[in-house]
Amino acid sequence: MILMALDHARDFISSAAMSFPPTDLTRTTTSLFLTRWITHFCAPVFAFTAGIGSFLWLRRNRTTRQLSRFLVTRGLWLIILELTVLRWILFLQVEMNNRLIILEVIWMLGLSMVVLAALVHLPARWLAALSIVVIATHNLFDSIAPARFGSLAWVWDILHQQAVFPVHGVNFLVAYPLVPWVAVMAVGYCFGPVLRWESARRQRFLVRLGISLSIAFIVIRALNRYGEPAPWAGQHSALFTVLSFLNCTKYPPSLDFLLMTLGPALVALAWLERVRFSDANPLIVFGRVPLFYFVVHLAVIHALAILLGFLRYGWHGFLLLPAPSMGGPAKLFPPDYGVSLWVVYGVWAAVVVMLYPVCRWYAQLKQRRHDWWLSYL
């Protein structure tokens, strides 16, 4: 979650982000590429741990039927948030007109929860096997064009193709297609029982599995034949060749992308378990209020982006428009709009510091009270 704030700060204010993707090896720098690459771990871990959280929620003397109901209501709530509150925070837009509506990570998590609500009724072994098959084989369908499905092309867009489709005059961009994200969440749900093992056994398993997935990534990526629609290639330097190797597709996440991120994440989970954190540690504080943190950190970053623009250019109407990096009209912005990468890091640190007392207060509130609505934020 802390890393996620870095990526969003870069999106909002980085001058480089206004003109090219940070993973474009023909234009990027090593620091800019790695700033983006390290945040690739966020979405896979969010989806995976959402599945784990679903299992842990079920273990508190609840039934599978109760879990399904919670996942449906929670998932629909996240989708509503994406289309309303988060849309306003990101783009200062609430009306449903012909402007582009981007369905991002909260949409993906919400829709995956709705689907998981049905999947949890399957035997755990069947669900685990099915989910692994989906993750391992979904790249076989990369060449299928949505047009093949005619009037139902939008269904394929939602499932497996990042694309724009219209609905009654409103254009939707599915930034996070459902497949294979829903399978990652389902695997997390099936993985939940591992967290109930004895500590030493669990840590050994996490390390071995994490290393195995990481090695699988290196081998499959090195073969350069399957698992990633964008092959790596030799570059003008050894360093950039390594960056090409690491430059895996996120939308939708390729098999290589998921192996590259979830493997090290499992090793990190095993290592972090050996560290004792106090209740006041930022990792614990932010981790206890993930959705609250997500909503507030976006609002704070956007407010700081407007403030920085005002301090540099004075008041202009473009400050209330989405930045070019967010799909806004570049011609309305100054050609030098944005800040250097090091300022981005400073803003990121400031955001995390500012959010700490607010999130700690809300975490303590959730500990003191158990109102039903608190579980939705």
In this structure, the answer to whether residues 237 and 342 fall within a common structural domain is no
pLDDT given for residue 115 in this prediction: 98
Instruction: Look at residues 273, 290, 308 and tell me which one is the last residue of a structural domain.
Output: 273
In this structure, the answer to whether residues 109 and 214 fall within a common structural domain is yes
- For the chain, how are helix, strand and coil distributed in percent, rounded to 5? 70, 5, 25
In this structure, the answer to whether residues 88 and 17 fall within a common structural domain is no
The answer to whether the Cα torsion of 313, 318, 320, 326 is positive or negative is negative
In this structure, the answer to whether residues 297 and 341 fall within a common structural domain is yes
* pLDDT over 80 (residue 240): yes
pLDDT digits (tens, 9 = 90+) for 104-129: 999 999 999 999 999 999 999 999 99
In this structure, the answer to whether residues 93 and 136 fall within a common structural domain is yes
Domain hosting 289: range is 1-39+279-377
* Rounded average pLDDT over 45-70: 93
* pLDDT over 90 (residue 302): yes
Sheet of strand 170-174, all strands in order from the earlier edge strand to the far edge: 100-103, 170-174, 164-167
In this structure, the answer to whether residues 283 and 376 fall within a common structural domain is yes
pLDDT digits (tens, 9 = 90+) for 79-96: 999 999 999 999 887 555
Instruction: Look at residues 273, 295, 313 and tell me which one is the last residue of a structural domain.
Output: 273
Instruction: Look at residues 242, 273, 304 and tell me which one is the last residue of a structural domain.
Output: 273
pLDDT digits (tens, 9 = 90+) for 176-225: 999 999 999 999 999 999 999 999 999 999 999 999 999 999 999 999 99
In this structure, the answer to whether residues 318 and 211 fall within a common structural domain is no
* pLDDT confidence band for 328 (50 / 70 / 90): confident
Mean pLDDT, the chain, whole residue set:
94
User: In the chain, which ranges are E strands?
Assistant: 100-103, 164-167, 170-174
DSSP 8-state class, residue 312: H
* Rounded average pLDDT over 219-241: 97
Number of domains in the chain: 2
In this structure, the answer to whether residues 58 and 127 fall within a common structural domain is yes
pTM (2 d.p.): 0.95
* pLDDT confidence band for 97 (50 / 70 / 90): low
Q: What 3 state SS string does 153-180 have? A: HHHHHHHHCCCEEEECCEEEEECCCHHH
In this structure, the answer to whether residues 235 and 303 fall within a common structural domain is no
In this structure, the answer to whether residues 371 and 260 fall within a common structural domain is no
- The DSSP bridge partners found for residue 103 are 174
CB-based contact 142:229 (threshold 8 Å): yes
Residue of higher predicted confidence among 28 and 150: 28
DSSP 8-state class, residue 121: T
